[in-house]
Structure 1
Amino acid sequence: MEIIKHSDRKISATDIPQEAFDWYDEYAHGDIDRRTFLSRLSTLSMAGLTLPLVAGALIPNYALAEQVSFNDSDITASYLVFDTPNGHGKGRGYLVVPKGVNATNKAPTVLVAHENRGLNPYIEDVARRLAKAGFIAFAPDALFPLGGYPGNDDEGRAMQKTLDGTKIEGDFMDAATLLKNHDFSTGKVGMVGFCYGGYLTNALAASMPDTIAAGAPFYGTPAKSNLDKIRGPLQLHFAELDKRVNATWPDYENTLKAHDIEYSAYIYPKANHGFHNDSTARYQEKNAELAWSRTLEFFNRNLNV
């Protein structure tokens, strides 16, 4: 059972009705605005829980999302500006290099793709986790052309909606090329992404099959084109209660099978969209840790060759 602490009270994720998680998913993906989300929450009977407490548990609290410190002695983290001729012209991302990795002691790389709100602290922590596991990790910020992640998800989500999705994909494609050619890189590039970043992972696997050697999308929808070009392998992670994304999986799976593309897919029981994100009540520690251990094993198997 997951326990979420907000203010001075602890609540369990099981205390929150499933409708609240579903409405949060609609809100997080721009289908309803914040006022509608909060209005709907106010209609629920939540066993004595207050509206602010439940809303606070669902909306990310990034103070909770640091599993690896930015100044951990086993990694070196920095921000890197890079050219994106296929995107907005310039990009910026969070680069994390494992201790001891250099031009003579190279390491495989992993591109990290954020959700639909820019490069937030949770995604930066994911990059640090990868570096702790021995991979060079790079997490671009799609919002860099607008000044970068603004420090809150509502504004970040609104900003990202104004950007050309094709150019965002181009920014990430150029980031993948940067990793492939980086002086410290073995030339092997993996990719992991969450929500919108899961879509980007599927999209780059389709558009850059010679670059993306292994893709691990978390609750991401399929690429819009070039599905027949995917070489894989893919490792796909889904949440059982995520109706919106899961509705796209049967056709996607049929396509992967039709083109004999190597893949494995996991559906995590009683999990909601975003279950890997440890900053909200959607987080499920057991499922998140299992999915992450599978992801690291997948990258070790396919990138360390």
Structure 2
Amino acid sequence: MKTFTSFFICVLISMSAFAQDYALKQLENSPRHHQWVTLESQGRELHNFVVYPQVDEDVPVVIVIHENRGLNDWARSFADQLAGKGYIAVAPDLLSNTQDGIEKTSDFATSDAARSAIYELDPDGVTQDLKTVLNYAQNMDGGNGKVAVAGFCWGGSQSFRFATNAGDTIEAAFVFYGTAPEDQEAINRIEVPVYGFYGGDDQRVNSTISRTEEMMIIAGNTYEYEIYEGAGHAFMRSGDDPNGEQPNIEARNNSWNRLVKLLSNL
């Protein structure tokens, strides 16, 4: 009975994390306009969650790159929160139609299944998808042509990698607890500022920061980062949960304020 009870509790925790009720509630209560936009990329349909701010002028666009479990409710709620600050947010579902019978992340049976599919993606293919999204973002109605990228975990690493391939076609890359490419030649191609956001209790990622900083200095590139003590990996998501741990909530709030300030300078 004890073993079964422990297993049952673990299942409930996993289901709760996948459901992200707090994020779904935030989306449902949002006054902003949400829509799904389908783009053609590499011979398939790429789905994108788009949120518009309630403003009367053209504004910058932020491409939101999701975590390693796909475009979940929290990633969409983050996009909505960005729109609440006056930016158009475009959140591509990079798992779109990459598995038979799976159109979107929400079609996977579990977040673990989505995570497995993420790591089967070809990095160059991900970059091509992001270039497709970038072209859309640069030319969309309501946008002023300026585009930045922001990503989390796996998406943070993709944000850094995209900066090595996008030249000056983006304004900045915001990397939340993601790692940089290890190739100096790739780092040398970066032409825009990169801003990092890291949790103090995330040694796997943080152990790469000094090397990243060294490479960015060699390349003459801007790399500014903050480490939020006491916060763990994925603190932007866990800190958004009203029932989350206080260090993660504080790190999320401080990071959010920093992000908004940086975006205002685009």
Match of 1:254 among 214, 217, 234: 214
Can you list the C-alpha shifts for 1:105-149, whole angstroms capped at 9, x where unaligned? 311100000011211000000000010100000000011113211
1-structure distance, mates of 2:236, 2:30: 22
Superposition deviation, residue 69 in structure 1: 2.8
Matches within 5 A, 1:181-220: 181-220=139-178
The yes-or-no answer on 1:233 pairing with 2:193 is yes
Match of 1:78 among 35, 51, 65: 35
Can you list the C-alpha shifts for 1:273-304, whole angstroms capped at 9, x where unaligned? 111113585771111010011011111112xx
Matches within 5 A, 1:1-305: 53=9, 60=17, 61-66=19-24, 68-70=26-28, 72-73=30-31, 75-85=32-42, 89-101=44-56, 105-145=57-97, 146=99, 147-149=103-105, 150=107, 152-223=110-181, 225=183, 226-277=186-237, 278=240, 284-302=248-266
CA distance 1:183–1:271, change in 2 (3 Å)? same
Q: Could you tell me which amino acid in structure 2 is paired with residue 92 of structure 1?
A: H
User: In the alignment, is the contact (CA less than 8 A) between 1:200 and 1:223 conserved in 2?
Assistant: no
* Secondary structure of the corresponding residue to residue 227 of structure 2: strand
1-structure distance, mates of 2:163, 2:125: 17
Higher RCO (CA 8 Å, separation ≥ 6 residues): 1
How many residues in Structure 1 have an aligned counterpart in Structure 2? Answer: 249
Per mean C-alpha deviation after superposition, the further-off stretch among 214-223 and 277-286 is 277-286
Superposition deviation, residue 89 in structure 1: 4.0
Can you list the C-alpha shifts for 1:73-104, whole angstroms capped at 9, x where unaligned? 2x21000001224xx54311101111245xxx
Q: Could you tell me which amino acid in structure 2 is paired with residue 84 of structure 1?
A: S
User: In the alignment, is the contact (CA less than 8 A) between 1:67 and 1:129 conserved in 2?
Assistant: no
Give TM-score, length-normalised by structure 1.
Answer: 0.75
Per mean C-alpha deviation after superposition, the further-off stretch among 284-293 and 167-176 is 167-176
Superposition deviation, residue 66 in structure 1: 4.5
1-structure distance, mates of 2:123, 2:180: 15
Percent identity of equivalent pairs? 26
2-structure distance, mates of 1:211, 1:161: 27
User: In the alignment, is the contact (CA less than 8 A) between 1:275 and 1:284 conserved in 2?
Assistant: yes
User: In the alignment, is the contact (CA less than 8 A) between 1:70 and 1:128 conserved in 2?
Assistant: no
* Secondary structure of the corresponding residue to residue 91 of structure 1: strand
Q: Which runs of 4+ in 1 moved over 3 A?
A: 50-59, 278-283
1-structure distance, mates of 2:11, 2:213: 35
CA distance 1:236–1:67, change in 2 (3 Å)? farther
Per mean C-alpha deviation after superposition, the further-off stretch among 117-126 and 219-228 is 219-228
* Secondary structure of the corresponding residue to residue 223 of structure 1: coil
2-structure distance, mates of 1:172, 1:67: 28
Bigger helix share:
2
CA distance 1:212–1:223, change in 2 (3 Å)? farther
What stretches of structure 2 of length at least 5 have no aligned partner?
none
